[in-house]
Amino acid sequence: MGEKIMFGHSNMDLDCFGSLSMARYLYPGHLMVRSGRIHPVAKNLYTVYRDHLEMITAKELKKHSIDEVVIMDTRQYDRVKEYFRFIPDFSGKITVYDHHCETDCDIPGASVYDGDFGANTSMLCMELLKRDIHVDENDATIALAGIYADTGNFSHGNVTGRDFQAAQYLMEHGASLNAVGKLLSKLREEHQVSLFHRLLNTIQFHNIQGYSIITSWMKLEGQMAGLAAVIERIFEVEDADAYIAVFELEKEGSHLLIGRAGNPRIDLNIIMNSFGGAGHPQAASALIKNSSGFPIYAHLLNMLEQRLKHALTSMELMREAVTISRKMTLLDSALRLEESGNSGAPVVDEDERLVGMITLRDIQKGRKAGQMNAPVHAYMTRNVIHADRNTTIREIEQMFYRHDIGHLPILEDEKVVGQVTRSDYIKFLQNNGDFREIIPQE
């Protein structure tokens, strides 16, 4: 009988450690193997929990005969080949737990467990929860750090209710939020802070297909620890739909692309795939070897222009506008609004041109003054903020926030063709993911 082992992908991140700390309860007795490279974000955690985790190195596998392998957080052979190097001719059972559902598995003979989870760790937690298995508080803390990291503190578009359930399970098992807060990547290193400021000064803003996209290009001598954490902070600070940083690594003669996106219509995985990279729709990267001298940055901008679906516009968001003729009385206007279920409507002249906006609140003022038979134009708001069919959701957002309006008439050739209301916008905000489905297919 040989040994059974388990490991995560090379360049182990917090989600790998989190997954393993849970998997050890599903597979007691499996040796945990550590990658030769630990991602900078996970170094502190590994230092602190080294003794608790009791991992062996990949090299030590040479001493064992192995008959079973369990893999965490990847289904790509390339990302685990450093382990298989030490177990040549492995022909035993391989089980994979991986939340990268959009990727094809190329590990021969592997059976894959997957599912929609923001963090791979959550998938393992749910398995333990289902079987009513209890975990130790150190493992709970490690796992919670993994979930926080892979879900962007529960804010990425990939987060599901089950990630929260998993977090709750871990809290009930004594996970320490204090420790998690300390272990999550911060810009601790001086070089990260200085890079952060340098990048902030070089980022470029683009409007591509209606999205606000930021990019940057910078030469670095070589790969630097904690680059992704810096990119994340910049993405947090700047209110953009996506940020893609291009680093030209001079010594290696390669380019490194790191991207973050926060808009469900942007899939960075597709963008990075075209550069030979991979990741999630909202976080992906690519390393382009032997590319010194190539205009990668220009190519990226081109690629974004070509590959991004156009941003949502008022066309997809607007509802049919109930218009009110300027000569109508307040009373008739009130009836019309109530019948149509609107709290406000554009007021138009004889040629259907926008001349004002009337809301139930304006009418209320007239009611108090006993003026319900007055014409609506006496109580309407003039100089109405309006948009057209091509106004993007982002611009609409700014109009709502900047002008504190509840109704935005949409005009075409000066005529009212629809309106977007605050409640339409709230609906959009809350159903961001599902909203995509009602967009006509191009």
Which residues contact Mn ion (rule: CB under 5 A)? 15, 73, 120, 150
Write down the least CB distance from residue 284 to Mn ion, Å. Answer: 12
Interatomic CA distance for residues 73 and 96, integer angstroms: 8
> 122 vs 212, which CB is nearer to Mn ion?
122
Write down the least CB distance from residue 20 to Mn ion, Å. Answer: 12
> 98 vs 139, which CB is nearer to Mn ion?
98
**To 5 degrees, how large is the angle CA 237–CA 302–CA 251?**
70
User: For residue 278, what are its two tokens?
Assistant: 């991979």
Write down the least CB distance from residue 146 to Mn ion, Å. Answer: 8
Nearest residue to Mn ion on Cβ basis: 15
Write down the least CB distance from residue 72 to Mn ion, Å. Answer: 8
> 73 vs 82, which CB is nearer to Mn ion?
73
> 15 vs 163, which CB is nearer to Mn ion?
15
Interatomic CA distance for residues 417 and 410, integer angstroms: 6
> 141 vs 314, which CB is nearer to Mn ion?
141
The residues, ordered by sequence, that sit 6+ positions from 389 with a Cβ below 8 Å of its Cβ are: 313, 314, 315, 410, 412, 417
Write down the least CB distance from residue 99 to Mn ion, Å. Answer: 6
Q: Are 42 and 14 in contact (CB under 8 A)?
A: yes
User: For residue 23, what are its two tokens?
Assistant: 């998997």
Question: HSE on the CB side for 101, CA within 13 Å?
Answer: 9
> 114 vs 136, which CB is nearer to Mn ion?
114
Q: Are 26 and 88 in contact (CB under 8 A)?
A: no
Write down the least CB distance from residue 17 to Mn ion, Å. Answer: 11
> 82 vs 150, which CB is nearer to Mn ion?
150
Instruction: Compute how many other C-beta atoms are within 10 angstroms of the C-beta atom of residue 99.
Output: 28
Instruction: Compute how many other C-beta atoms are within 10 angstroms of the C-beta atom of residue 46.
Output: 18
Write down the least CB distance from residue 14 to Mn ion, Å. Answer: 9
